[in-house]
A and B are shown apart, each in its own frame.
Chain A
């Protein structure tokens, strides 16, 4: 039972990691590529870390829970880097399928990059 749960978690995690990277290759423009890695990959690695937590806790050397730290860290940092990346892309005027709102360009033209 435990082995089935672990195997399922590992396969699901790896599958999501793969799909996230697939999105990076398949999507047509930068802003749509951003979605795969920030969402699918985060959940994929989160699932793998939960699997690792269960695995090491059942090895008989006491509970292991420092995996939570990496999961939390990824869940906090992934949106931050996604936000910074898309801000940088808007600033550079990277080609996009959908038109960015006009105010973005106006504010950038003023030269004030927000902190």
Chain B
């Protein structure tokens, strides 16, 4: 039952990643694309956590933490670039 649930969840999260990709490619404005990228990071974390449970391995956790941190820093840097036209002042 658990493995079936994980498989269904895989399908749902993959569909979510597909949707964010669509927004990333078509999104009319730059902020739309950044938002899509940010959502993509969060969905990737979800996918990694699911994979960790599917394979019964806690190894993927560090990757999830790294993606969470890098994703946040990336979003902030891109937003700051839009706001100021410069990242490091």
In the complex, A touching B (Cβ < 8 A): yes
Q: Are A17 and B43 in contact (CB under 8 A)?
A: yes
- Classify the interface of chain B: helix, strand, loop or mixed: helix
Interface residues on A, range: 35 or more
Q: Which of A3, A21, A30, A55 contacts B16 (CB 8 A)?
A: A21
- Name B14-50 residues within 8 Å CB distance of A: 15-17, 19-20, 22-23, 28-32, 34-36, 38-39, 42-43, 45-46, 49-50
Q: Which of B35, B45, B58, B72 contacts A45 (CB 8 A)?
A: B45
Q: Which residues of B contact A (CB under 8 A)?
A: 1-2, 4-6, 8-10, 12-13, 15-17, 19-20, 22-23, 28-32, 34-36, 38-39, 42-43, 45-46, 49-50, 52-53, 56, 58, 61, 64-65, 68-69, 72, 75-76, 79-80, 82-84
